[in-house]
Structure 1
Amino acid sequence: MAGGRPRTFDSDAALDRALEVFWRQGYEGTGISDLLKAMGINNAPSLYNAFGNKEQLFRKALDRYADGPAGYIREAFEEPSARAAVETLLHGAADATTSPDHPRGCITVQGALACSPGAEAARDELVARRAAGEAALRGRLEQAASSGELPAGHDPEGFARYFATVYQGVAVQAASGATREQLHQIVDIAMTVWPRQPASS
């Protein structure tokens, strides 16, 4: 018995277009009709068969975002020092959130900050992803404290929360129209809180 008709669209390209719509309009501001039009899919059943419901598609789009436009995050954590990791992360955010190749800002920051009860699952997904990012940053700073790169008396958890807040602020400022140069300046100022190593006696 033959299977269903083959898909007439490129799944990866369609997912990229779904990401763009969610990124520009937010989860709740994006309707199924918007997704069908952007993704080049003829009807809702075809969309559901390929990607699941809207919430499942949103999660797939977020994974696509993490592997693509937000790939700089993974690269930042590969830096040899914690300071370089944080600095690369923040400057990477300044570049990515102002790129002319996609909507401004960051989908994980602004995708569903405020929503109705029916969209709480999407909001919770973004909250969890932001929390995971902060936890990864905290882990890296805890390693820095253990190795002596972050001097004694400096709280890795507090630093992680601070830099996560700067990171999210960069995205909000970008979405509000701040220039790339302005955002890089903000990052440079933020990095001045990084403690200097005590002079050796």
Structure 2
Amino acid sequence: MRLFWERGYDGTSFDDLTGAMGISASSFYNTFGSKEALYHEAIEAYLRVAGGWFFDALAREGGTRAAFDALMAAAAVEFTRDDQPAGCMISTAATQCSPGQVRVRDLLAGQRTRADAALATRLERGVADGDLPESTDANALAAFYGSLLRGMAVQARDGASRERLREIARIGMLAWPDEGA
């Protein structure tokens, strides 16, 4: 997972993988079947290990804005941790890839779409709870905050500090719909 996160799918060679795992080519194929199958497993592991903060923040009690504030703050921390690669494995991976890797690109695009859907669901709950205006376009607002999160992930990969990401998040929260609208 770490190699794929650091280097991306195309940037991680078969030799990199077998070397990191300390296994032979035949053991690799007997265990995983293919590099792509291992990548799928790595994405699932990432979602379990490193992605839990996303759903934890969305589940936060205290209103929708508080949940999104927590989400943005958590992203600034998670994307800049010293014990893992910078950014988000899913946000920064496979937006461009070779024609033979369309399935990998589609897998990650699907994960990003699912994340935006989770944001929209939380926003829709906020509308139902009355802490967002009924006129709120939950899908558009989810796409905005999803884009902001992915942009923060790219900024982190480019070396932005945690403080810089916090400032980006603060500015992003200025776009929050006025409850009185």
Give the TM-score of the pair, scaled to structure 1: 0.85
Residue 30 in structure 1 maps to residue 12 in structure 2: yes
Number of residue pairs the alignment of both structures matches = 180
Write the deviation string for residues 29-83 of structure 1: whole angstroms up to 9, x where unpaired: 1111100111122x12211222331111111111111111222012112212222
Bigger relative CO (Cα 8 Å, ≥ 6 apart): 2
Q: CA deviation at 1:197?
A: 2.7
Q: Which moved more, 1:155-164 or 1:125-134?
A: 155-164
Structure of higher CA gyration radius: 1
Paired residue for 1:115?
Answer: 97
Structure 2 unmatched ranges of 5 or more: none
What SS does the aligned partner of 2:60 have? coil
Write the deviation string for residues 112-162 of structure 1: whole angstroms up to 9, x where unpaired: 111111111111100000000001111111111122111132211111111
Which 4+ runs in 1 deviate beyond 6 A?
Answer: none
CA distance in 2, matches of 1:52, 1:89: 36
**Conserved 8 A contact 1:94-1:170:** yes
CA distance in 1, matches of 2:121, 2:13: 38
Paired residue for 2:122?
Answer: 140
User: After the TM superposition, which residues 14-93 of structure 1 pair with which residues of structure 2 at under 5 Å, given as runs?
Assistant: 19-41=1-23, 43-80=24-61, 81-93=63-75
What SS does the aligned partner of 2:45 have? helix
Amino acid at match of 1:90: M
CA distance in 1, matches of 2:67, 2:160: 23
2:170 is matched with which residue: 188, 191, 194? 188
**Conserved 8 A contact 1:70-1:96:** no
**Conserved 8 A contact 2:92-2:150:** no
Q: Which moved more, 1:171-180 or 1:51-60?
A: 51-60
